[in-house]
Amino acid sequence: MPRKPHDSKSFDAKSKSFDPVALRRRANSLRTTTRPIGLFSSLKLELSALIVIATAIAFIMAWFLLKVGLSGWIAMPITLAVALGITYFFSRGMIVPLRQMRDAAEGMADGDYSVRISIGTDSNDEIGQLARSFNEMAEELQHADQMRSDMIANVSHELRTPVSALQAMLENLADGVTEATPANLEAILNQTHRLSDLIAFLLDLSRMEAGAASLQIEQFDFAEFIDETVEPLEIADAGHAHDIEVRIAPDIMIEGDQDRLQQLFTNIISNALKHSADDTTVLIEAHENDELGTVVTNVVNFGSQIPYEARSDIFRRFVKGKTGPGTESGGTGLGLSIARWAAQLHGGTVKVVDDTRGANFEITLPKYHTVE
């Protein structure tokens, strides 16, 4: 099959038209140039060194030209031109990265978050630090933009599934195809619960965006709290025959908002159950750290491991874990993100730690709530 001729008008993938500004930005972002300056750890030192070098060379040249007999009216302009040329050559190393940042910022303003700074990132001065920070910011913005673009598709998919199931079930009931038996009504109720959970996730996401949430702090027995959290999960998991083993001392007391903490532990334990093969064990163990005044809880999913490079990404919003044998698909990709948010509200942390037994989520919470 003959290849289609290249159409220069399709250069810009977003606008489907040739954009010379975008072409210039792309060329600048891909061009690599060695900075003539950037060896020092401070821009002040670099400017001082540049002034000293230019002054010294200008002085030596002026002395040499006068020595060979040239008139001062001729020697001085030549000396100034050389000094300006040296200054321009070395100062270019300061200006080029800034120009590239300007072009990259213009590209990001147009919605192109793939641009990166390629000049000056290896230097130790303030410009090098700024270039590296700019690239990190661009990478985060690119990821956030991708997550936003995926959000509508993810939420639409998650809403469509229970809504379609509810519509089909209710149509069958209305048409008399199926009867309103307890089993059929329970199936409809399960779909409404799924919708309710998704709406709760989205409400929690809006609270996360707002950056704050009210907490109802009270002291409670941690072992009893975990038992109450696990009980509905065991009922919902009956078809998979997971064994949830709890190892928590009965005398651990903790302060916090039970609703938020239940949200935290429900999401973590549900995630462990979802990524565990049937007839396997999920371990929940907790101990007090008297030195730090914290309660450390580990939720261990025996079997599957989480790669080290993916351990921070799984806590991002709308990032779903990989599925495989013995795992359930679906989900919103919000559970772990909301769990980390709930832990941070209490001044705690959630992270994945090394464990040869499997995926180990470690939750650290302060025993006593401190108002900041």
List the beta bridge partners of residue 362.
298, 351
What is the per-residue pLDDT across 42-78, written as a single tens digit (0 to 9) for each? 667 777 777 787 788 878 888 887 778 777 788 788 8
| pLDDT computed for residue 325 by the predictor | 39
CATH of domain 218-321+331-366: 3.30.565.10
Altogether, the residues listed in the chain come to a count of 372
User: Which of 154, 167, 38, 179 lies closest to 96 in space, CA to CA?
Assistant: 38
- CA torsion sign for 270, 283, 286, 361 is negative
| pLDDT computed for residue 226 by the predictor | 94
Q: How far apart are the first and last CA of the chain?
A: 69
Residue-averaged pLDDT of the chain: 76
pLDDT band at 367 (very low <50, low <70, confident <90, very high): very high
- CA torsion sign for 27, 29, 30, 31 is positive
Per the confidence metrics, is the pTM higher than 0.85? no
The percentage of the chain sitting over the pLDDT mark of 70, rounded to a whole number, equals 73
Domain ranges of the chain: 22-144, 150-210, 218-321+331-366
Q: Which CATH fold topology does 150-210 show?
A: Helix Hairpins (1.10.287)
Reduced 3-state DSSP string for 250-261 = CCCEEEECHHHH
